[in-house]
Structure formats: C-alpha cells, structure tokens
Structure 1
Amino acid sequence: MEINCVFAPATDTPDHIVLAEQLGYQRAWVYDVPVSYADTGATLGIAATRTSTIRLGVSVFTEHLRHITTNAGLIAHLATLAPGRFDAGVGAGFTSSAYLGRKGSRWADVERYVEDLRTLLAGGEIERDGTVLSLMHMPASGISLPVEVDFWVAAHGPKGFATAGRLGAGVVTNPTHGDEPVPFDGQCQLTYYGTVLEDGEALDSRRVIDAAGAGAGLALHMGQYGPLAGMPEAEGYHEAIAAVDERHRHLELFRGHLMEPSDLDRQFLTGDVIRRGTLTGTRDEIAASLQRLVEAGANAVLYQPSGPDIPRELAAFLEVAEQFRDTPGTSSPNTTASPASEVQHA
C-alpha cells in the first residue's frame, strides 16, 4: 500500500514536499484552487527542482478554471521539470465549480477533456469551438513533445469509475461507497483527513481542532450528504450558511476549504464532528482505519496534513502507516471484508 500525501498549497508547501520525500512518502500532490491556495504551477515547479524521487501531481485539473491549452502547457512544463514522476488528476469539478457558482462537468465532457489533453501532450491537434488547437513548443522553450504523464480521475460514483476505466486511468476517491468495496479494479487512492492523537489527547483540544478542523469543515459543508448527516452541528451549520446573502453564499460555503476552518466553521467544530467528519484517532485507531481502507480496495492512501504544524502531521501519520505496513497480517486486500462505509470520512 502506497502512503502518499496531498496539500492545500501554501507558499511553504515546497518545503513540506521536500520533507515528505525525506520522510519516505511516495507521492506529493497539490489541490488546484487558485482563488484560495498558492499557485499550483509555481508550487510544484519549485518542488520539482528541489526533489528527485517523490512523484508530484495535481488533484485535480478541471475545465472550469483555465483553457485546456493552458492546463496542457502547465502539465508539459511540470512533467519536464520532474521527468517520469508527474501525475495529472482530472475531475468534474466540486470546489472549483462551487467557487464559480457553477455545476460540475458532465462525465462525458471529463472523458473528452482527458483524451484531448493526451492528444495535445502527444503533439497532436484538437478542435474546440470550431478552432484547431495544438501545443507548439520549440526547442528553445526547453519543453519537448511528446510528454507522457499518468492520468487519474477524481471519481465518487459509478459514472466516474466507468470513465476512469475507459480511460485506463487511476482513481482518486474517498471511503464512502456504501456497504460495498470501492467498485474499481485499477489503481485507487483513498483520501484521508485527520490527525494522529497524542496519548490522552482530547478530540476537542485546540491542537486537534487546528489540525483536523479543515477536514471536518468539509464534512460540515457536505451537510446532510456527508458523514455528519443528522447531527445538530450539521443542521446548525446549514442554517447559518443559509442566512448568508445568496449572492455570496457560494463563497462563504468554501472559505478556507481544506486549508483551515473559517470563523463560521469553527462555531460548529466539536469533538463529535472531528470524530465523525475525519479519520482522526489514536495510533491503533488509525492503523485499524488503514486496514479497512485496504479491505475496501485501496492501493494507496492520500493523506492531507493541515494545521499550523504540517511537519508534525506528516511525520506522525507516516510513522503509524509504516508500522501498519510492517505488521504481519495487514495490508492484504480483501474485497469481501470490512466495507468502506464503516470508515467515517468527509
């Protein structure tokens, strides 16, 4: 089982990616939300020049935020800086759509988007809006086509999994697929939010709220469609966000998304919300969670550290994960055992 990490990128994320490589993480990805995070390309460009073995990637590109040629050019540049170790995730758009007040893309459009990106990176031509498009890097640019990268699809339902299967891509998803294992046979990474508790540490301590609050905030944002369904905190958050002016509600809903809890989020972050909305736990509890993820069909876990002490989060989680992998009888996929629904997750 691969132990990977993903960041809501900040200006110090390149330092954290260097540390992740030193610690032994196999991949380090960043989210792509330019209205909230440090720039994706600048972050990974710096990290690429300071690392040599860890795989870098974006989770995920969408067609909402940039023209397809801009994303293709960025992928080509990053893959050149990190040859043989760049991953490109693509999705229908959840956060990026919400920030723009739009709905996500249709899966047929996502499939075409990946196919067109592959064509552009191979040096071919595509047609969009009646215009022929191509990447045209000359030798002086330092970028040579074709460029080969591994593609991943952010999928959370049957249409997304089917799209990934047709594309021959890996899947990035979460462990909330009902009473059945993840319905995908290829490479599958399950996201993991939360913090490793110190001995005797309370779930509602200041450190835990700061470190796990961003992941729990996502659960609040999901409301009745997420792991906090039926909880008074989820209902209270829903009422509070509904009171925000409609023209700005979509902005407040995702303020601080997966980076740090907003002032509104913090009003509803309790120990119970941390417990149900993230995979926070003791070392033994996190090892048990990792085993359930393996049994749900994960080939890899994609851990997102957050809070004021990212180095501590990276080191603590990897220590638990490595002990888990080294324990006899663990890490053997068994798709007939413990369903993913047993894992509370945002």
Structure 2
Amino acid sequence: MDVSCAFPTALDSPDHIALAEELGYTRAWVYDTPQQSTDVWMTLALAAERTERIGLAPGVLVPSLRHPMVNAAATATLAALAPGRVAVSFGTGFTGRRAMGYRAITWSYMEAYIRAYRGLLRGDVVEWEGAQMQMLHPDGHAPARPIDVPVLIGALGPKGHRVAQELGDGLYVTLQLPEFVSQYSWVPYLVWGTVLGEGEGTDSEHARQAAGPGWALAYHGAYEFGGADAVRALPGGAEWMDVVERTVPERRHLTVHSGHCVDLGEADQAAWKAGGHTMLRDVTMSGTRAELRQRLDEVAARGVTEIVFQPCGPDVRAELENFFDAATR
C-alpha cells in the first residue's frame, strides 16, 4: 500500500509537500476549499517547482467552483510543470460546498462535468451550458492534446459508484469505506490521526492538537448527513449542539465548519472537554505504532491501495515522520 499525505492548502503547504517528498511519501493531495484555503492550483504549482518526484494532486476538486475549461487549463499547466506526476480527483463537495451553506452537487451534474472536462483534455470539441468549446492553447501555452492525467472520483453510494466505474481511473474515499472499494485497482483513503505514545491517553494535549481536527469531522459529518439527533448520539454531542444552536439557523454552517480539518472550533472544543475524545481511536487513524500497523493492514485487506494521511498540529514534520515510520516498518 502506498503511503501518501494530504494538506488543507495553506501558504506553507508547498514547503510541507517538499518535506513529504524528502521523507518518502508517494503523493501529496491538497484540498479545494476556497472558503478557508489558499488556491489549490497555485499551491500545487509552487509545490511542483520545489519537488522532483512526489505525485501532486488536488483531492478533491468540487466541479461547481470552476468552469470545466478552467480546471482543464489548470490541469494542463500542472502537467507541464510536473510531467508524469499529476492526478486529479473530483467530489461532490463536503467542505467545499457545505461550509458555504450549499448542499452537495448532484451526480448527474458531476457526470456531465467530468465528461466535458475529460473531453477538453483529449482535445475534443465539447458542449457546456449550451456552447461548443475546445482547448485552443497554441504551442508553448499548454501540453499538446491529448493530455493524459488519471481522474479519480470520490464516491460513497451507488450513484457515485456508477459514475466512478464509468468515468474514473480510481476511487477516492474518506470518512468511511464503501462496500464496493475492492472493485477498484486504485483507492486512496484519506485519514486523520496521530501516532500515540505507549500509555498516552486520548485526552492528551498532543492527541487534541494532532488528531482533534480529524476527530471533529465525526461531528461535522453527523450533523450534515444525520442532523442534530445524530450528533447528540455521540459522546459530547449534546454539548456540541448547545454551541451550534446559539447561532441563527441560516449561519449555523459557519459554526459547524469553523476550523474544519485544521483546528477545533468552539463546538468541537466543547465536545472534546465533555468526553468526546474517548472515540478518538474509532473515528481517526490514531493509536500506537503497533495499533496503526494493524489498522493499516485491515484497510489494505478491504481494498485500499493508498493511505493518505493529513498531519495536524504545531509539528507537521514530527507527525509526517511518525506516521510514515509506523506505516512502513
């Protein structure tokens, strides 16, 4: 199983990607979350200039955020800067849309978008929004078409599975592993967590800083997909909802996603202090080296071909080093 990393697209992400290459990581994925991040394509371009080997990929692009021609042109640019190292993944928009108050895009839109995007990279004339268009880049402005870049699709249910099988080169997954994982030859699995010391409790300050942002996704996801009752069923969920419900409904998503994938928001901190940390091992890839090795073997047996680890906390180098050591030795 390949060992890759992910970053929440910050100003220091290009340097962190260079560090990940130094440590031996296979690929670096960065998020398309404009409401809280620097631009994904600018970040990857800077990373391309600072690296030589590591794969570079947006994970995941949200189609509604850009015209397909914009993403096709950006893909072509990155493929020229880092030939043979680029992959692309698309998703319906958990953070990239819900944190701005939108619902996920439909799978019919996703399918049409990816068909147009892939057609543009092939050099085809495609139709989008009733207009005929083609990549017209002359020599020196982009690689010659066709531009061959693998495309992965983030899917958890049957509609996404169908689109991924028909149009994708692999399945990009996070939060949970769907039953159909084993039907794909390339499956990156995005995880958060940390290597815990022997005897280290889940309530330690290190655990909170390094694994807490990933742990908090359990509450964010429960709220978005199951509502308040689903959150209250979790340890510390009542305290989490108490904070969220202080905000007027039309702005509640701002409170829910505060600090998403980076730090603990006010609601997350309330849940952690109320005992929510007790499920840290259950909802993140956290544990001792031996425990993580066993967990990684289990997900590999289910069909995961690439583990994608996002480090958090003040010491990114240590988190990257410790996870890579646990995953490879």
Measured in 2, the distance between the counterparts of 1:191 and 1:89 equals 12
Measured in 2, the distance between the counterparts of 1:63 and 1:172 equals 15
In structure 2, relative to structure 1, the CA distance for the partners of 1:94 and 1:228 (3 Å cut) is same
> How far apart are residue 138 of structure 1 and its match?
2.1
Aligned residue in 2 for 1:238: 241
Say if 1:181 and 1:296, in contact at 8 Å, map to a contact too.
no
In structure 2, relative to structure 1, the CA distance for the partners of 1:19 and 1:228 (3 Å cut) is farther
1:219-248 Cα offsets, whole Å, 9 max, x none, are: 111236589772231232134213311221
> How far apart are residue 93 of structure 1 and its match?
1.5
> How far apart are residue 32 of structure 1 and its match?
0.6
Residue type at the aligned position of 1:243: R
> Is 2:222 aligned against 1:208?
no
Secondary structure of 1:204's aligned partner: coil
Residue type at the aligned position of 1:159: K
> Is 2:188 aligned against 1:185?
no
> Is 2:297 aligned against 1:259?
no
Say if 1:197 and 1:281, in contact at 8 Å, map to a contact too.
yes
Q: Which has the higher helix share?
A: 2
Q: 259, 284, 291: which one pairs with 2:290?
A: 284
> How far apart are residue 184 of structure 1 and its match?
2.6
In structure 2, relative to structure 1, the CA distance for the partners of 1:52 and 1:229 (3 Å cut) is farther
Secondary structure of 2:183's aligned partner: coil
Say if 1:121 and 1:146, in contact at 8 Å, map to a contact too.
yes
Secondary structure of 1:25's aligned partner: coil
> How far apart are residue 287 of structure 1 and its match?
0.7
Q: Superposed, which structure 2 residues align to 1:140-155 within 5 Å?
A: 140-155=140-155
Measured in 1, the distance between the counterparts of 2:279 and 2:255 equals 19
Aligned residue in 1 for 2:198: 199
Measured in 1, the distance between the counterparts of 2:311 and 2:260 equals 13
> How far apart are residue 305 of structure 1 and its match?
1.0
Q: Superposed, which structure 2 residues align to 1:90-239 within 5 Å?
A: 90-174=90-174, 176-177=176-177, 180=179, 182=181, 184-223=183-222, 230-239=233-242
| Structure 1 stretches of at least 4 aligned residues deviating more than 6 Å after TM superposition | 226-229
Aligned residue in 1 for 2:6: 6
Measured in 2, the distance between the counterparts of 1:135 and 1:309 equals 43
Coordinate RMSD, CA, aligned = 2.0
Secondary structure of 1:301's aligned partner: strand
Aligned residue in 2 for 1:70: 70
1:14-68 Cα offsets, whole Å, 9 max, x none, are: 1111111111111111011011012211111011011111110001112221222
In structure 2, relative to structure 1, the CA distance for the partners of 1:235 and 1:181 (3 Å cut) is farther
| Count of residues in correspondence between the two structures | 322
> How far apart are residue 181 of structure 1 and its match?
6.7
1:94-119 Cα offsets, whole Å, 9 max, x none, are: 11221332221222221221121111
Aligned residue in 2 for 1:249: 252
> Is 2:322 aligned against 1:316?
yes
In structure 2, relative to structure 1, the CA distance for the partners of 1:142 and 1:154 (3 Å cut) is closer
Moved more, 281-290 or 218-227: 218-227
Aligned residue in 1 for 2:307: 301
Measured in 2, the distance between the counterparts of 1:10 and 1:232 equals 31
What is the TM-score of this pair, normalised by structure 1?
0.87
What is the TM-score of this pair, normalised by structure 2?
0.91
1:177-234 Cα offsets, whole Å, 9 max, x none, are: 47x5735333112222100012332211112101111101111112365897722312
Residue type at the aligned position of 2:277: G
Secondary structure of 1:232's aligned partner: coil
Measured in 1, the distance between the counterparts of 2:76 and 2:214 equals 31
Moved more, 26-35 or 108-117: 108-117
Secondary structure of 1:86's aligned partner: coil
